[in-house]
Amino acid sequence: MHFLKFLLLLLSVTAFAQTPATDWTNAYWPARWILHPTAPVRQYGIFHLRKTIDLPQKPVRFVVHVSGDNRYRLFVNGRAVGMGPARSDTQNWNYETYDLAPYLQAGRNVLAAQVWNMGDGIPFAQMSYQTGFVLQGDSDAEKVVNTDASWKVYQNPAYSPIKNDIAKMRTYIVVGDGDRVDAAQYPWGWEQPNFDDKNWLAAKPLGFPTKPRGLGTDGNWGLVPRQIPMMDERPERLATVRRVENGKMDAGFLQGKTPVTVSANTKAVFLLDNGVLTNAYPELTVSRGKGATVTLGYAEALFDASGKKGNRNEITGRTMRSFDDQFVADGADRRTFRPLWFRTYRYLQLTVETKDEPITLNDLVGQFTGYPFVEKGQFTTNDTTLKQIWNVGWRTARLCAGEMYFDCPYYEQLQYVGDTRVQSLISLYVAGDDRLMRKAILDYDHSRFNEGLTQSRYPSADFQVIPTFSLFWVCMIHDYWMHRQDDAFVKSMLPGVLGVLNWHEERLAKNNLNGPLNWWNFVDWAWPWTEETRIGGVPPGVREGSSVLTLQQAYTYFRAGDLLAHFGQNERAEHYRELARRLNRAVYSQCWDAGRGLLADTPAKKTFSQHANILAVLTDAVPKEQQTALLTKTMTATDITQATFYFKFYLFEALKKTGSGDQLIPQLKPWRDMLAMGLTTFAENPEPTRSDCHAWSASPLYQFLSTTCGIRPAEPGFRSVRIDPALGDLTSVEGRVPHPQGDIVVQFQKTATGSLTGSVTLPEKLTGTLRWNGKTLALKGGKQAVSM
């Protein structure tokens, strides 16, 4: 009898572990989208769902596929498993796949999920169809947990939104509402196995089938598997207490060792400094203090009386202009508040307003979150001050990367093409990780609309078009093609590429400059927003013909020609190359000012910019023998429109193209100035700036490795490498770039006579060349000493 029970148990375990799975990307899901039976489906609401199952034994495998709208957080037996879905649009709606086996046990188990819809306060980056949650077991063994009417649901009345909008923040901010939680109405322990859910309602299955993208007759959600890893989450603690009003707090509280008590009927304010900017889920634990309100305010920096930030380390005479959350205590012990979405802050201010009972602040800890980039690239030189630029740049890049790239984490969290191109190259060179870049390229492809352009930022619930960013999307595809061997993916982008190229070609005037252009033709914040135009960042000539916009077309057409030729579309390739040359000739003949030795912004030759002349170099619109002198004049002329941090990326590219990379390090003064101002990430613009963290300003990381160390692809797919170092005044440099086949490592010293010595290490099967002072040395796989 005991042997028979053992045999049956063994068979059930074997069947449980080896049941074949279905291809859920190509089949209807038996699980149904579920929601609350009476709550509005597109309005603000926070919901909890539970499902209890019994298992004969602990499984070795228990795989499920999960999604929600707007967001979900999944728990098993009280333990957090994951959250999602990765942001996308409704016809490319991500689902996550989890193996729940490590969280399950023999006997009773409880799956629980928190699902929320921010309604009118939704972030612009969050697209939505309606509130819903779905969970599909991967095989017959897991179908017991499929979402249906057996799941229970509860709408949490403790939550209400806090408006942190443009009017309050006095600037453009679209990251959504903050959270206000009334602890007295919260169903504490709802995710735990022993919670009593007998009064919860049965979930309502939606009336349409659950389907992957491409199936069915109706819209709703087209499910696709998540293509990127789950986000990092790790604890981090605030660094210092900077200011206290009506209370006492020391470092012991920040270390989780010394609770703080605020007396009854008191308003106390605690200004805390994280030391550096971060993205984190703050977790505040309090006890007692019934009716007390704790406001958590988050800021990148403090503001003086004139609304300026100044040195970011200074707090005297400065106040918060903050994004806020609130928690109202219920008088119980150890209640923990955690917002639904992460917050960005260097400064976190606690404002505690008690009623008739004192409150104890037990602890405050942040859970850092971000895309799980690993810093594999390295850069060191004899100039040790560059290490701080590297470190701050990498922090900037990390805070601007989550489930998609962010332009900035505090104000927008939107993925813009112009920003993303720079961010992607940093990701490739420092992390060797192309997954977020690939997702971004796909996101923009999904954003294309009837005119043939991409949207400028995507995913986004607010439609916006920047034609220049569509051109940079094409350049992003070219970047990916140069760095990764992935022809099938690149080829799938060509229809969209042709749509973008055609849109711009159709809008050329008879003089081969841009004709009148609609949409927002942003190039750089060097041209400020004005009340008259009600738009900023646009160079002169958008109506009558702009050298800047025309040359950006040529810049892109050359790259598109390379892509098209690679895939056998030779006639189209030559068409766009010749068109690019024609645009170059038109710009030079109509906009070159021989007296100034500069390219003007328009044929009227009344205004000049660095941008036009940088692009003239990058496109060869001016003769090659003039380009070095033109760049020198462009960098030294103070009476022309100056490129801000974003467009300096293209200045650095022009330096590299002309063999003037020695000028890179001297051009980094603006980055040193930011460090001197106490910034711990690099800002959107020169002072005064809105955003203190903008990834397009992290471009020196890429340039250190591709220009100073000189490491870049010699042919598509990074099949070989060209190393063309430009040390400038540096005497030594070491760099490491992760390559798909292994690391590329260089170590160079420059002698007093201008010779180069050191070593180069390539992956075993990679070859390349080293160039120095007009000489070329062949490189092979492995480590080799070099002397030139």
What's the pLDDT tens digit per position in 725-766? 999 999 999 999 999 999 999 999 999 999 999 999 999 999
Among the listed residues 187, 111, 104, the one whose alpha carbon sits nearest the alpha carbon of residue 148: 111
Asked if residue 79 lies in contact with residue 109, where contact means CB atoms within 8 angstroms, the answer is no
Provide the residue type at 412 as one letter: E
Q: Is 541 left (phi over 0), alpha (psi -120 to 50) or beta?
A: left
DSSP state letters, 421-471: HHHHHHIIIII---HHHHHHHHHHHHT--TTSPPPSBSS-SS----HHHHH
Going by C-beta distance under 8 Å and a sequence separation of 6 or more, which residues neighbour residue 729? 662, 665, 666
Beta bridge partners of 243: 271
d(C-alpha 273, C-alpha 563), whole Å: 49
Q: What would the pLDDT profile of 284-311 be if each residue is shown by its tens digit?
A: 999 999 999 999 999 999 999 999 999 9
Provide the residue type at 600 as one letter: A
- The residue assigned the tokens 């209400």 is 160
Which residues does the chain have with pLDDT short of 70?
1-21
Tally of CB atoms within 10 A around 464: 17
**Mind listing the domains of the chain with CATH numbers?**
2-157+181-225 (2.60.120.260), 232-370 (2.60.120.260), 507-663 (1.50.10.10)
Asked if residue 273 lies in contact with residue 328, where contact means CB atoms within 8 angstroms, the answer is no
Among the listed residues 596, 583, 575, the one whose alpha carbon sits nearest the alpha carbon of residue 547: 583
What is the model's pLDDT at position 759? Answer: 98
- The residue assigned the tokens 């249906």 is 148
Among the listed residues 373, 96, 92, the one whose alpha carbon sits nearest the alpha carbon of residue 220: 92
Strand segments, DSSP code E, in 680-781 are 711-713, 720-723, 732-739, 742-750, 756-762, 767-772, 775-779
Provide the residue type at 334 as one letter: R
Strands 767-772 and 720-723 come out as parallel
Tokens of 224: 């696709």
Asked if residue 610 lies in contact with residue 641, where contact means CB atoms within 8 angstroms, the answer is yes
Asked if residue 331 lies in contact with residue 357, where contact means CB atoms within 8 angstroms, the answer is yes
Helices (H), 538-663: 547-566, 570-591, 610-618, 624-636, 645-657
Tokens of 758: 């050191």
pTM recorded for the entire structure: 0.95
Beta bridge partners of 770: 723, 777
d(C-alpha 500, C-alpha 9), whole Å: 61
Going by C-beta distance under 8 Å and a sequence separation of 6 or more, which residues neighbour residue 453? 465, 467, 470, 499, 500, 503, 519
Give Rg (Cα) of the chain. Answer: 29
Give burial (CB, 10 Å; 0-12/13-18/19+) of 132.
Answer: buried
CA angle, residues 7, 8, 14, in degrees to nearest 5: 90
- The residue assigned the tokens 């505090």 is 410
Tokens of 693: 């963290």
Give just the sign of the alpha carbon dihedral 366, 371, 372, 377.
negative
